[in-house]
Amino acid sequence: MLNVDVLLYIFEACQESGETGSLLAAALVCRRWAAPAQAALCNMIDLTIYIRDSRNIRAERLARTMQTCPHLLSSIRHLDLEVQDPSLLSEHLSWLQKIPPGGLKSLWLRWEYGGWPPTKSESMQCAVIRAPGVRGVRSLSLAGRFYPEVLREVAEFPLLENVTTRITRCAQFSAPVLRTFPRLKWACVRADVYAQTHVQLLFPVASSPQLQTLIIVFNVEDCVHLLPSALRSVAPSLRHLRLIIIDDALDRVGKHSFMDEVIQCLPSLKRLAITPGTYCSALFERLPRSLKYLELLPGSGGFPYRDALVAYITRAAKSKLPLKMVAVPASLKRATVDAVISEACEACGVALRVARIRW
């Protein structure tokens, strides 16, 4: 007879591979199998609260299940929640308030509905964020329309280690409103609109003392000039920085070679990916000695840094620096200028790759 821990391991593997039917069948085999099978079924919940109540049959069934079987609440580890109609939250999501602290590990929250008055919608968002089980998450993703008070609440999460934000609408708020995240290690801030909000959020995120990975994607020109001051506050512990600014945003505000100075504040950096217009040739003389992977992302215009890059690769080899890979734009890889860089990489034992923009 299989041990309960072995059963749970098998059932969780079934859940990860999407074999819901197998788990439902396993839960009916016997009482001994029922508990681990039900726990695996509730391990990861993907739920949408639709605008039309007729489409919320799954949400209704889940709410009834959690009401009749409250012991399943402690089995929920990951929640992917999309809210299209906040007015139905009290009816279909009341069980969220009953998840015990320390159980839920990650929350992906998408909030797109904006038809309610601001005060009412804000209170509904805060009700979700303030749930005891939600406050203990280690990973949080916010996408859609959010209010400043929600971001203030998130900044108080004591165990938060990973955060991703793609906020499409948020009322302006004046800094300082957020404190640094004490345990944050991984962060991705993507701004397609309302860059002012994201820059204000970026300051406390970047200055978190244990931050190791920071990904910034800006698709708007507003506040690009404020990025340097935010990046200068980055903790020295940062290992991976990926900075993507879409060409149109840089073209409208002008080029800013701020990375030439910012890079000196990152002595422990091991992986760097940056877009053109944020640096000049001086960057290659200031790259940290700890750098292992350098990605020069594609952008408009040419690549006037060939000599500086070749000199850096050669210098890294002579100084026995840990540089392992250099990635250049695909257009450069096809050009004749690539021959010089390719020869330098081959002579110094550094891998040459094609750089691609990945969010």
Low-confidence residues in the chain, pLDDT < 70: 1-29, 31-33, 35, 53, 113-121, 168-179, 192-200, 220-225, 247-256, 300-301, 331-337, 357-359
- The tokens describing 153, both together, are 């609440």
Distance CA 8, CA 83 (A): 31
- pLDDT number for residue 175: 46
Taking the model in full, what pTM does it have? 0.84
- pLDDT number for residue 141: 93
Distance CA 84, CA 111 (A): 7
- The tokens describing 128, both together, are 């979700």
- pLDDT number for residue 143: 87
Both ends of the chain: CA-CA distance in Å?
47
The helix, strand and coil proportions of the chain, stated in percent and rounded to the nearest 5, come to 45, 20, 35
- pLDDT number for residue 332: 63
How many C-beta neighbours within 10 Å does residue 285 have?
12
* DSSP line for 216-285: EEE-S-TTGGGHHHHHTT--TT--EEEEEE-HHHHHHH----THHHHGGG-TT--EEEE-TTS--TTHHH
- pLDDT number for residue 212: 94
CB 181 within 8 A of CB 209: no
CA distances from 251 to 234, 299, 320, 352 (A): 26, 11, 38, 28
- pLDDT number for residue 208: 87
- pLDDT number for residue 269: 94
**What strands lie across the sheet with 213-218, from one edge to the other?**
44-49, 78-83, 106-111, 139-145, 162-169, 186-191, 213-218, 240-245, 271-274, 293-296, 325-329, 351-355
